[in-house]
């Protein structure tokens, strides 16, 4: 069957690059971008776009029927830091959008769903190093609670209704094309921009806060790979642990200094420190590697070179 793909939340950090890559692979007219707002010029000019409110079942269904969609990537979400400011809104968006898409899949109107989970499903009682796939999960943010609940529902819809839903627990994602918004790991993107524009950065996480991170190229690769895997190879129907690297603000600053020698970092932690302290420092993603062949390409050095190179061209 020809793929006809809908991306909900296409204008966000991951949605933008995912849309561009899926269009490259599947053809422009087979990948419909949608969001509640307009995105970057590159995204808006790259192919068909529809306005969709992810909380509105009927507007999602209308677009699915209009384009005979068979795969949906649901990328709309409120992230950890913004979620703490607007807990009820975060819950409403993160849960309602998922139920809308799962129910459309249950009704047989689409064949496959991708839904992102996050390392935020883990909490202060989770083992911090090499966090296993199955372990204690007591998330302390509303975003984390919504993602953990969402994982349970994905598994339930697979077991009970046979919905082919696939999911990854993303670590912090670092990219240069589209900025993240409202996350705790966002410092690791801002730092590169500030290094080039100002030669300095004031980090909202303290110097030894180690978190799992991943370059966008790897995140897109993993997303497409899990969606292309044979159904029998997807043995985890809640969400897969996924990892590439872990580092602290001090370590990323040292790496940046190798390319921008005058760069200086200072520290002033805020409410996001508590969120970061509740998350794992490193992730065991051996199940993703065994089940569907996941392999990362970027470490801190390679990512820093790529980020600074791409941003220099963007700013020049
Ligand atoms: C956040 O910081 O909230 C996100 C995430 C780890 O899911 N980047």
> Which tens digits make up the pLDDT trace of 181-200?
999 999 999 999 999 999 99
Cα 109 to middle of ligand 1, angstroms: 30
Cα 27 to middle of ligand 1, angstroms: 30
Per-residue pLDDT at 1? 72
Per-residue pLDDT at 277? 98
Cα 142 to middle of ligand 1, angstroms: 12
Which pairing describes strands 31-35 and 5-8: parallel, antiparallel, or unpaired?
Answer: parallel
Sequence length of the chain is: 316
Cα 112 to middle of ligand 1, angstroms: 24
CA distance 240 to 249: 26
Check if the beta carbon of residue 219 is closer than 8 Å to that of residue 13: no
Per-residue pLDDT at 27? 97
| Catalytically annotated residues | 143
Q: Does 189 contact ligand 1 (Cβ within 6 A)?
A: no
**Residues β-bridged to residue 241:** 169
Among 13, 84, 86, 118, the mutation site with the greatest number of ligand 1 atoms within 8 A of its Cβ is: 118
Cα 185 to middle of ligand 1, angstroms: 6
Residue 102's contacts (CB-CB under 8 Å, 6 or more residues apart) are 113, 153, 154, 157, 163, 165
Which residue has its alpha carbon closest to ligand 1 atom 4?
183
CA distance 242 to 235: 14
Q: Does 47 contact ligand 1 (Cβ within 6 A)?
A: no
CA distance 115 to 263: 38
CA torsion sign for 225, 114, 124, 209 is positive
Mean residue pLDDT across the chain: 98
Report helix angle 87-106 to 57-66, nearest 10: 40
Which residue has its alpha carbon closest to ligand 1 atom 1?
183
Three-class SS of residue 11? coil
Per-residue pLDDT at 173? 98
- This model of the complex carries an ipTM of 0.99
Q: Does 16 contact ligand 1 (Cβ within 6 A)?
A: no
Query: Has this prediction a pTM greater than 0.80?
Result: yes
Cα 84 to middle of ligand 1, angstroms: 12
Residue 9's contacts (CB-CB under 8 Å, 6 or more residues apart) are 15, 34, 35, 54, 74, 75, 76, 77
Q: Does 283 contact ligand 1 (Cβ within 6 A)?
A: no
- Select from 131, 164, 163, 167 the least CA-distant residue to 149: 167
Q: Does 307 contact ligand 1 (Cβ within 6 A)?
A: no
Among 131, 147, 170, 280, the mutation site with the greatest number of ligand 1 atoms within 8 A of its Cβ is: 170
Q: Does 201 contact ligand 1 (Cβ within 6 A)?
A: no
Which residue has its alpha carbon closest to ligand 1 atom 7?
118
Give φ, ψ of 269 to 5 degrees.
Answer: -75, 150
Q: Average pLDDT, stretch 97-116?
A: 98
Q: Average pLDDT, stretch 16-22?
A: 98
State the pLDDT confidence band at 154, using cuts at 50, 70 and 90: very high
Q: Average pLDDT, stretch 33-43?
A: 98
Among 9, 116, 184, 249, the mutation site with the greatest number of ligand 1 atoms within 8 A of its Cβ is: 184
Per-residue pLDDT at 2? 85
């Amino acid at each position: 069957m020809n793929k006809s793909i809908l991306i909900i939340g296409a204008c966000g950090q991951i949605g933008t690059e995912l849309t561009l890559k899926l269009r490259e692979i599947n053809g422009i007219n087979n990948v419909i971008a949608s969001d509640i707002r307009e995105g970057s010029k590159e995204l808006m000019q790259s192919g068909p776009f529809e306005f969709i409110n992810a909380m509105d079942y009927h507007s999602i269904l209308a677009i699915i029927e209009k384009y005979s969609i068979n795969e949906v990537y649901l990328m709309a979400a409120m992230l950890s830091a913004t979620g703490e400011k607007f807990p009820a809104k975060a819950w409403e968006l993160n849960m309602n959008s998922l139920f809308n898409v799962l129910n459309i899949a249950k009704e047989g109107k689409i064949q496959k769903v991708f839904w992102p989970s996050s390392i935020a499903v883990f909490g202060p009682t989770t083992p911090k190093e090499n966090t296993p796939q199955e372990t204690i999960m007591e998330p302390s943010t509303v975003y984390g609670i919504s993602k953990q609940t969402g994982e349970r529902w994905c598994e339930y819809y697979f077991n009970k209704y046979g919905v082919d839903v696939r999911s990854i627990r993303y670590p912090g994602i670092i990219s240069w094309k589209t900025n993240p918004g409202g996350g705790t790991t966002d410092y690791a993107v801002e730092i590169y921009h500030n290094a080039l524009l100002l030669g300095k950065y004031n980090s909202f996480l303290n110097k030894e806060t180690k978190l799992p991170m991943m370059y966008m190229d790897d995140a897109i690769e993993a997303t497409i790979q899990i969606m292309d895997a044979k159904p029998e190879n997807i043995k985890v129907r809640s969400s897969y642990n996924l990892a590439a690297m872990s580092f602290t603000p001090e370590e990323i600053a040292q790496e940046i200094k190798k390319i921008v020698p005058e760069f200086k970092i200072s520290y002033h932690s805020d409410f996001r420190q508590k969120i970061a302290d509740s998350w794992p420092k490193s992730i065991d993603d051996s199940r993703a590697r065994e089940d569907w062949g996941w392999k990362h390409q970027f470490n801190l050095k390679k990512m820093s070179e790529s980020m600074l190179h791409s941003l220099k061209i963007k700013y020049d």
